[in-house]
Every structure is written in structure tokens, then in C-alpha cells.
Structure 1
Amino acid sequence: MTALFLARLSLNLTHRDVQRDLGDAKQLHTTIMRLLPDNMGADPRKQANLLFRVEDGPTGTTVLAQATQPLHLDRLPAGYATAELKDITALLRTIRAGTAVRYRIDLNPTKTERPDSPGDTTEPGPPKRPRGTRRALSGAAADAWWRQRAAANGLDVHTMHPTTPAWPPHQNKKDAIRFSLYRYEGTGIVTNAEHLGATLTAGLGRAKPYGAGLLSLLPGQTR
């Protein structure tokens, strides 16, 4: 079974690097990436299935970072956060078909729209499929997107409470990463343990390098 580790970083909001990271998606991505072991290949984030989520609460701001490799919390800047690392591999063994769960996930729901007309027909052979335009979804369309993706990945959603988290920040810089997130929380039933376990490990949807896709589950009673 794949090992799974979860780090909880309780951020020091007075730290200059924390303030920088919370104001810039690229910078926070860079800081979290430093926690990975060395020599992880050409795509270390994907190799280690690194995911994270920013959460604001009554006691401050927390970053949850999950990976299939132990994270090196000593690589955080001094005073950056109070950090702890747990091995949560056992969670994968508790997921069985029929298990009731509570879930939380931040997602970047999108839809690719392609023009009706064919692509370039000047080259020999069949016309190329035209390049589509990716559009962010919102409201009922985003809710339907999540419900469909959840079902395809082994979770039958019973309830959902969508909100818009404070992260990511709105940026006007020319080179800023621009995307929006929806947070979904609610209850559901596991329908396919293998598929849902894979989603827990690898994440769901787009914008994974920037705080999307980390699915958190709290198993309940088995029906």
C-alpha cells in the first residue's frame, strides 16, 4: 500500500515570508515544494503526489500538505510555522464501499469549450481538432462538476456546502497565477474504495500545484 503523510503548518502571520507566500500563489508553491526529498526526478510534485490546502480558522491560518514521501519540515524558514507531520497511511485501509464519510476539498472547476468549426484544413489529412478555451465554472455548474467528478472517483455525494475560500489572493501582477477555488464540504458514501483511495493519494482536478485537489475524509459508520 502507498504510504501517505500529512503535514500541518500553523503559520506565523507576523513572519515576513508567510506574508509574502499568502499574497502570491507562486511563492507559496515554491515554499511547499522545498519540503520534498531531493532527487525526485523531473516532476517532483507529481512524483511525490504533493498536494496542499490553505485553511483560515478562528486560531489563524493553516496549510495542510500531503505527500507519498515524508516531508522535510526542517526546511521551512526559521519561525515560519509550528509544524507537525503524521503518517496517515492507515486512512487508506479504512475506506471501504458503503462507508459514510465527511469530506472537504478545494477545487478549480473548469470546462473546455471548443468552436464548432473544424481546425486548420490547409495541411493534408483529416482536419485537426480546434484548440479549446478553458472556462471557470461557478454556481450550479461548479456544483454539478464536483458531484460528477466525485461519482467517477468512488464517492456518492449526499450533501455539499460550497464556499469561496480566501485563498488564492487576487493579484494584479503581470506574471501572477490566476485561478479561482471552490471549497466543498459535506457528506457522502464510498462506492468504490480503490478509485477513492487513488483520488485521496493523487488529488482531483486542476491547479494542484497551487492549493487545489487535496481531498480530506473523516470516515463514519458503515451502512
Structure 2
Amino acid sequence: MTTSLNLVRITLNTASRDVQRDLSDAKQMHTTLMRLLPDAMGEDPRKQANLLFRVEDDPRGITVLAQASHPLLPSNLPTGYGTTERKDISPLLRALRAGMAVRYRIDLNPTRSERRSALTAANADSERPRRPRGIVRALTGADADTWWRERAAANGLTVHTLLPTAPAWPPPRNARTGRGAITFTLCRYDGIATITDPALLGTALTEGIGRAKPYGAGLLTILPGPA
């Protein structure tokens, strides 16, 4: 597991056309934030750098938290995109201890893969029927809550409390064109948890959890301290 973790907080300038474009389209936001990475990082630079991000709306305005295991380059963002703060959060990885209480936040895309149980009529009549493909079903409500508890446990974290909310971003449709911008929804979880396996949790903090990581899901942030 990497021992380097870098965080950039971008307070967005909502008067910027680049920002307005990105807030209306998750794919465009992904494209812009990829500019934070150095060049020549291979075929899948996001995965190589473990780039994760989350969009938040707080009293200071709309912000983006971007995290990677490589140094990030805010100077590569479009001119006037926003103000940035950089922080090395590598010490957090080294401070993780079993039994430590933490507050957490994460945006997730809870899903379950299911196999189709029957062939379509057209497929059944074929000389060489194809094996039925699986489908990915989005989870909501109690199913999504259970999914998060199970994923947290598998990544070294026992969840004691969870508060699910629907983040305002990403938009389900491109606000500028009206076309579908993404094909998934996110659920935000805030709560209290206890660390059970520091190594597993360190990997989850670095690499993220679940699907849709290029589009604002999977970034787990924690704050150690008493519940």
C-alpha cells in the first residue's frame, strides 16, 4: 500500500464558465480534474494515481475535494477555476489504529450484480444461444444501507451510525443539453465508525470504495476522535 496521500480542496468560482460546465456534467468534471495529474502516467492515469474526488456544498461555497497518491497540480486547472488548498494527508494513514473511533463521509454508488435467469426468445431460437448477461441493479433505502455496512466491514471499518442523504451533485441530466449526463445516482453517508483493520482501511482510503470512482464516488474521508 502506498504511504503517500495528497489532498486538494478547490473552492469553485461559480462565475467561471468552466465551472458551470463541469457542475452540469459529471463527465466534464472528470475531464477537468484529470488535469491535476502529471503527464505520462500510462493507459489508466486515474487508476495509477488513485485519483478520487467528491463535490460538496458547504458554507464557504461549492468545493471539490480531490485526492491522489501522486502529487496534484492545481496550476493545471483552467484559469479562474477557483482557489485551492493543498495538504499532505499521508500521516493519517500511519496514525490508523484498531479500535480508533472515527467520523466518516463517503459518496457511493451502491449496486448489485444479478444474472438473468432466462434467455430471451430470440436468443433461445438461435443455433448458438449466448449465455445470459448479468445486470447491475442500483440499490436504495435499506438495501443500500446494508450494502454500505458490508463494504465498510470488508474494508476495515465497523459502522455504528449512518445518515444517508442525496448529494446535489452529480446531476442526473446535462443541464445545458438536457441529455442524460450519467446513468447512476449517488448516496452520501455520514456517521460514526470504529477501525477494525488499519491495513484494509488504509487501502480503502487510498483506492476508494465501489463503482463510479471517475465521477465523484468512492472517496472515503475520516476524522479520528471521540464519537
- Is the contact between residue 35 and residue 72 of structure 1 (CA under 8 Å) also seen in structure 2? yes
Opposite residue 159 of structure 1, the aligned amino acid is T
Structure-to-structure mapping, 1:92-171, within 5 angstroms: 92-117=93-118, 130-171=132-173
Displacement after TM superposition at 1:2 (Å): 2.2
Equivalent residue for 2:207? 202
Opposite residue 182 of structure 1, the aligned amino acid is C
2:195 and 2:79 map into 1 onto residues whose CA distance is 41
**1:34 counterpart SS class:** helix
**Percent sequence identity over matched residues?**
64
Displacement after TM superposition at 1:118 (Å): 7.0
**1:144 counterpart SS class:** helix
- Is 1:178 matched up with 2:202? no
1:104 and 1:91 map into 2 onto residues whose CA distance is 15
- Is 1:66 matched up with 2:67? yes
**2:101 counterpart SS class:** strand
Displacement after TM superposition at 1:52 (Å): 0.1
- Is 1:189 matched up with 2:220? no
1:4 and 1:66 map into 2 onto residues whose CA distance is 7
Opposite residue 160 of structure 1, the aligned amino acid is L
**2:30 counterpart SS class:** helix
Opposite residue 150 of structure 2, the aligned amino acid is Q
- Is the contact between residue 168 and residue 179 of structure 1 (CA under 8 Å) also seen in structure 2? no
- Is the contact between residue 108 and residue 181 of structure 1 (CA under 8 Å) also seen in structure 2? yes
TM-score (norm 1): 0.93
Displacement after TM superposition at 1:175 (Å): 6.0
Displacement after TM superposition at 1:114 (Å): 1.2
**1:29 counterpart SS class:** helix
1:84 and 1:153 map into 2 onto residues whose CA distance is 28
**2:161 counterpart SS class:** strand
2:154 and 2:119 map into 1 onto residues whose CA distance is 30
1:17 and 1:116 map into 2 onto residues whose CA distance is 46
**1:53 counterpart SS class:** strand
Gaps of 5+ in 2: none
Opposite residue 12 of structure 2, the aligned amino acid is L
Equivalent residue for 2:20? 19
2:189 and 2:217 map into 1 onto residues whose CA distance is 11
1:194 and 1:114 map into 2 onto residues whose CA distance is 33
Task: Kindly tell me the number of residue pairs found equivalent between the two proteins.
Answer: 219
- Is the contact between residue 94 and residue 219 of structure 1 (CA under 8 Å) also seen in structure 2? no
Structure 1 segments, 4+ long, off by >3 Å, are 117-123, 172-175
Q: Alignment RMSD, CA only? A: 1.9
1:200 and 1:168 map into 2 onto residues whose CA distance is 21
**1:205 counterpart SS class:** coil
- Is the contact between residue 5 and residue 86 of structure 1 (CA under 8 Å) also seen in structure 2? yes
